[in-house]
Structure 1
Amino acid sequence: MIRRLAIFLGSRNGSDPRFADEAYDVGVRLAERRIELVYGGGGSGLMGRISQGVLDTGGRVYGVIPRFMVEREWGRLHEPGVQMHVVETMHERKAMMAERAEAFLTLPGGLGTLEELFEVWTWQTLALHRKPVGLLNTGGFWDPLVGTLGRLADSGFMDRSTVDDLVVAPDLDGALDGLSARLP
């Protein structure tokens, strides 16, 4: 059973309102399952929605945010239920999130979201950790990426087993089941 889940997701809401609704719902459902949210500490976009869902349901939020983002007032620093850590660099942020989490799940997002996903997944393939990594593929959002990953494997740039080890699920229950089954 996962107790602390790192979630990577957008600092914007995206163009489809379903993304924001889903992020909030994921937060609610994590809190109901007593799974602590580990995330990048942002207060806007999908990051704000997921953390609000957790907080509204009485759950725990563990945020890690770089100082430059605090200075731009992008974080949720002084809210009850939020344990926020301010670090100096993005590298420290990702390392602290990875240390705290037992598994990683990626929701829709942009370049930063992809960068976080690929870094922890690379760490996993290099045996720097054994924590499972996944994509919440609501409405097929990640289908183009999954197709590209398959092409990388088919072209000999990565092992098929690496692609197959990535949990890809259309809903939160499937994602949590897949991640839980891969816990060390």
Structure 2
Amino acid sequence: MQALTVYCGSYSGNHRCYVEAAQRLGTCLAERKITLVYGGAQVGLMGALADSVLGAGGDVVGIIPKPLNQANLVHQGLTRLEVVESIQQRKSRMLELGDGLMALPGGFGTLEELFEALAWCQLKLHQKPCAVLNVNGYYDPLLSFLDQATNQEFLSMANRNLLLQAATPEDLLALMMQPSND
């Protein structure tokens, strides 16, 4: 894995463990010489993650749409910043650049990006590992919902298994780097 696309919140959440997990992930990426591809912001978990990669000597590529390219939002110290026309172009570019896709805690945008990546994987439009960093059990309700969707036969077990999860960055990166069974 040369580059990892990470979706995460522009807020930090109400538990310090979310910021700490983002920082630890950033350090892990830099140590493994994996480039971070993310949304380009300097705020919330996005900023904490980018700062930790950069602080550990790693590379960070930010992809930001023109409407969000504002001095108070965009990270000014990135290895590379790409400004695109729209959110749709941002998502496509982030998916294109990453060898894997991971979601940290976040809100609607994070979930939407994660589910688009999963849906495209299900449709075999890409074969990149998709994962959630389940810090503090943040994604437990979502994972339970996906289990229910599988039990109710709206989601096959093979497709349910497309979403990897672990509680620590080290464990999740190890899962994501395992060869696929396809």
CA deviations over 1:142-177 (Å, ceiling 9, x no partner): 111000001111111111111122111111122111
The one-letter code matched in structure 2 to 1:5 is: L
Partner of 2:26: 27
Residue type at the aligned position of 2:88: H
- For 1:181 and 1:22, the matched residues in 2 are separated by 21
1:63 aligns with 2:80: no
Q: Which amino acid aligns with 2:117?
A: V
CA contact (8 A) 1:66 1:89 kept: yes
State whether structure 2 residue 107 is matched by structure 1 residue 114: no
The offset of 1:29, in angstroms, is 1.5
2:165 to 165, 168, 181: 168
Deviations along 1:35-89, whole A, 9 cap, x unmatched?
A: 100001111000000000001111000110001111363111x32x420000011
Cα displacement string for residues 5-60 of structure 1 (whole angstroms, at most 9, x for unaligned residues): 00111000011111112111211121111110000111100000000000111100
The separation in 1 between residues aligned to 2:179 and 2:144, in whole angstroms, is 22
Query: Equivalent residues in 2 for 1:5-44 (5 A)?
Result: 5-44=4-43
Partner amino acid for 2:168?
D
Post-superposition shift, 1:107?
0.6
Residues 1:94 and 1:182: Cα distance change in structure 2 (over 3 Å): farther
Give the TM-score, by structure 1 length.
Answer: 0.94
User: Given residue 153 of structure 1, which amino acid in structure 2 is its aligned partner?
Assistant: T
Unmatched runs of 5 consecutive residues or more in structure 2: none
Q: Distance in 2 between matches of 1:159 and 1:72?
A: 44
Partner of 2:138: 141
Once the two structures are TM-superposed, the CA of residue 118 in structure 1 deviates from its matched residue by 0.2
Deviates more, 1:126-135 or 1:158-167: 158-167
Is 1:132–1:182's contact at 8 Å kept on the other side of the alignment? no
Sequence identity (%) = 35
**TM-score, scaled relative to structure 2:** 0.95
* 1:155 aligned residue: 152
Following TM superposition, the consecutive aligned residue runs of length 4 or more in structure 1 with deviations greater than 4 angstroms are: none
Count of residues in Structure 1 that have an aligned counterpart in Structure 2: 181
SS of the aligned residue for 1:75 comes to coil
The code of the aligned residue for 2:56 comes to T
Task: Name which of 97, 120, 123 aligns with 1:126.
Answer: 123
The aligned counterpart of 2:50 is: 51
